[in-house]
Structure 1
């Protein structure tokens, strides 16, 4: 990881600095927290899975060496578990900015960041989408789970997926997607598609 680590916000203690190390695997150059509010863990949580801290309204931004925004990560609630050094997210939202194209957005009901910090598992009503532009078509992918490697601009799943692009539709089991400077999508298993030809006189 390059760049300096920012000073902790008002509600961030020494334990919470562990979170910065977890998210460092995302290629972070600079992260900031949007005034998180620390709350006590639920008393019903088991001792094995009791978080050592909980952050509400978590928000972080990754910058490159020139101070330009690269990625965003936010969640309604973040919980860190010291037992396996993992982090769980409620209603996570991820955004990747791509040169010469609209940004990609991913959202889900829940997410989990492993201890190594190099991947995020999204679960429940996962939607990955990109808006249209003058040179690109809109793309929307829906599935039940998605493994994301933000630092590598890569995402994959083995679950059934549904892809929509303008009026075209595609269903498949599994998808591999690289959304860096050059977009590449692979469907490793059987795929069914419905394509609508352009009307006469239209591109």
Structure 2
């Protein structure tokens, strides 16, 4: 014999269990949403700069403890996601023993790959004074990638090079500051200074 109200009590129990399951499910969903939100927030923060420096100058040393190059600019912005930095109005001076300094100017720069790669953008100008073993050098382009530790640089865009009294134009360039070798890859055009005329023989 079934007691009165038994079915009603079971319905209440099932309703309560259902409410608990829904509550637990809602709590789990809330936790997942909170965790995903935290991950998104963390990722968003990683994409944002964590500090900036204005009117700065820093010196990087070589393995012997001597200055290798100097980097300065009006503003440096650091990004923690990849430990890279953007520089406004950068000035870079590469110091090589036995050679004049190589100066680099641009409107923007990006440093990455553990501070071993420097990318210069917009109105890039490279200058090096003449020395007993090398002519003066002036290079102009709109984009240049520099590897200071390896003393080399390269670009895929048009470049204008003035060395001594000779002018070189082309598209794409690779240069090695240590060896003084410059290779222009495409559309090479060279303008050489006229040869001096031999002195007239005395009558």
* TM, length-normalised to structure 1: 0.69
2:189 alignment partner in structure 1: 192
Do the aligned residues in 1 keep the contact of 2:170 with 2:188 (CA within 8 Å)? Answer: yes
Deviates more, 1:66-75 or 1:152-161: 66-75
1:106 alignment partner in structure 2: 104
Unaligned stretches of 5+ in structure 1? 1-45
Do the aligned residues in 2 keep the contact of 1:87 with 1:115 (CA within 8 Å)? Answer: no
| Alignment partners' CA distance in 1, 2:46 and 2:80 | 9
**How far off is 1:76 after superposition?**
1.2
Aligned-residue CA RMSD (Å) = 2.2
Deviates more, 1:93-102 or 1:57-66: 57-66
2:85 is aligned, of 73, 84, 87, to 87
2:95 alignment partner in structure 1: 97
Do the aligned residues in 1 keep the contact of 2:46 with 2:80 (CA within 8 Å)? Answer: no
**How far off is 1:96 after superposition?**
1.3
1:118-165 alpha-carbon deviations (Å, 9 max, x no partner): 201110000112111233211111000001111111100000000112
| Alignment partners' CA distance in 1, 2:77 and 2:68 | 24
2:5 alignment partner in structure 1: none
1:143 alignment partner in structure 2: 141
1:42-77 alpha-carbon deviations (Å, 9 max, x no partner): xxxx96753211101221112335443221111110
1:176 alignment partner in structure 2: 174
Deviates more, 1:129-138 or 1:158-167: 129-138
| Alignment partners' CA distance in 2, 1:142 and 1:63 | 27
* TM, length-normalised to structure 2: 0.69
Using a 3 Å threshold, how does the CA distance of structure 1 residues 87 and 193 change in structure 2: closer, same or farther?
Answer: same
Using a 3 Å threshold, how does the CA distance of structure 1 residues 69 and 200 change in structure 2: closer, same or farther?
Answer: farther
Larger Rg: 2
| Alignment partners' CA distance in 1, 2:63 and 2:114 | 22
Using a 3 Å threshold, how does the CA distance of structure 1 residues 176 and 65 change in structure 2: closer, same or farther?
Answer: closer
1:104-126 alpha-carbon deviations (Å, 9 max, x no partner): 11111000112532201110000
**Higher helix content, 1 or 2:** 2
Unaligned stretches of 5+ in structure 2? 1-43
Using a 3 Å threshold, how does the CA distance of structure 1 residues 121 and 171 change in structure 2: closer, same or farther?
Answer: same
Do the aligned residues in 1 keep the contact of 2:172 with 2:184 (CA within 8 Å)? Answer: yes
Partner SS for 2:185? coil
**How many pairs are equivalent?**
156
Query: Relative contact order (alpha carbons < 8 A, sep ≥ 6): 1 or 2 greater?
Result: 1
Using a 3 Å threshold, how does the CA distance of structure 1 residues 101 and 52 change in structure 2: closer, same or farther?
Answer: same
